[in-house]
Amino acid sequence: MGTINNTLHESGAAAMPIEAELVKEIVDSQLLYVDETSWMELTTFLWLWVFSTDTVTAYWISTRSSELIENTWVKRIAAG
Protein backbone atom coordinates (compact mmCIF):
# COMPACT_ATOMS: atom_id res chain seq x y z
CA MET A 1 0.00 0.00 0.00
CA GLY A 2 2.84 2.42 0.83
CA THR A 3 4.52 1.81 -2.52
CA ILE A 4 1.38 2.67 -4.48
CA ASN A 5 0.80 5.79 -2.39
CA ASN A 6 4.41 6.93 -2.81
CA THR A 7 4.26 6.35 -6.56
CA LEU A 8 1.09 8.44 -6.85
CA HIS A 9 2.66 11.30 -4.90
CA GLU A 10 5.89 11.18 -6.93
CA SER A 11 4.07 11.16 -10.26
CA GLY A 12 1.84 14.01 -9.12
CA ALA A 13 4.86 16.10 -8.15
CA ALA A 14 6.54 15.33 -11.47
CA ALA A 15 3.44 16.51 -13.38
CA MET A 16 3.15 19.90 -11.63
CA PRO A 17 5.13 21.85 -14.28
CA ILE A 18 2.92 20.33 -16.97
CA GLU A 19 -0.25 21.36 -15.10
CA ALA A 20 0.68 25.05 -15.40
CA GLU A 21 1.06 24.67 -19.18
CA LEU A 22 -2.30 22.88 -19.45
CA VAL A 23 -4.08 25.57 -17.43
CA LYS A 24 -2.54 28.29 -19.62
CA GLU A 25 -3.71 26.51 -22.76
CA ILE A 26 -7.22 26.14 -21.31
CA VAL A 27 -7.40 29.80 -20.26
CA ASP A 28 -6.08 30.99 -23.65
CA SER A 29 -8.32 28.73 -25.75
CA GLN A 30 -10.89 30.20 -28.13
CA LEU A 31 -13.27 27.30 -27.47
CA LEU A 32 -13.65 25.57 -24.11
CA TYR A 33 -15.88 22.69 -23.09
CA VAL A 34 -16.50 22.16 -19.37
CA ASP A 35 -18.29 19.28 -17.69
CA GLU A 36 -18.60 17.94 -14.19
CA THR A 37 -19.91 14.86 -12.49
CA SER A 38 -20.34 14.27 -8.77
CA TRP A 39 -20.14 11.35 -6.39
CA MET A 40 -20.35 10.82 -2.66
CA GLU A 41 -17.15 9.79 -0.89
CA LEU A 42 -17.94 8.92 2.73
CA THR A 43 -19.80 12.07 3.81
CA THR A 44 -18.40 14.47 1.21
CA PHE A 45 -19.54 15.21 -2.31
CA LEU A 46 -16.66 15.47 -4.77
CA TRP A 47 -16.73 16.51 -8.42
CA LEU A 48 -14.70 15.39 -11.39
CA TRP A 49 -14.25 18.48 -13.55
CA VAL A 50 -13.29 18.15 -17.22
CA PHE A 51 -11.94 21.08 -19.21
CA SER A 52 -11.41 20.36 -22.89
CA THR A 53 -10.08 22.43 -25.78
CA ASP A 54 -9.23 21.33 -29.30
CA THR A 55 -5.74 20.29 -28.11
CA VAL A 56 -5.94 19.73 -24.32
CA THR A 57 -8.17 17.80 -21.95
CA ALA A 58 -7.55 18.23 -18.24
CA TYR A 59 -9.27 16.65 -15.25
CA TRP A 60 -9.50 17.88 -11.68
CA ILE A 61 -11.12 16.34 -8.64
CA SER A 62 -12.41 19.07 -6.39
CA THR A 63 -15.30 20.24 -4.32
CA ARG A 64 -17.97 22.23 -6.08
CA SER A 65 -16.60 25.61 -5.14
CA SER A 66 -16.16 28.67 -7.27
CA GLU A 67 -12.35 28.57 -6.94
CA LEU A 68 -11.77 26.13 -9.79
CA ILE A 69 -14.07 28.02 -12.19
CA GLU A 70 -12.65 31.40 -11.18
CA ASN A 71 -9.11 30.19 -11.87
CA THR A 72 -10.03 29.09 -15.40
CA TRP A 73 -13.21 30.66 -16.73
CA VAL A 74 -13.17 34.06 -14.99
CA LYS A 75 -9.54 34.69 -16.03
CA ARG A 76 -10.51 33.81 -19.58
CA ILE A 77 -13.45 36.26 -19.60
CA ALA A 78 -11.34 39.02 -18.02
CA ALA A 79 -8.71 38.57 -20.72
CA GLY A 80 -11.36 39.24 -23.33
Residue 60 pairs with which residues in a beta bridge?
A: 49
> Tens digit of pLDDT for each residue in 2-37?
788 888 888 878 777 787 788 888 888 888 888 889
Domain residue limits, the chain: 2-79
> Residue 66: pLDDT above 80?
no
Q: Which pTM value belongs to this model?
A: 0.65
- What span, in angstroms and rounded, lies between the C-alpha atoms of 13 and 44? 25
The CATH number given to 2-79 is: 3.30.160
* Contact by Cβ (8 Å): 13, 27: no
Write the DSSP assignment of 32-80 as a string of letters.
-EEEEEEEEETTEEEEEEEEE-SS-EEEEEE-S-HHHHIIIIIHHHHH-
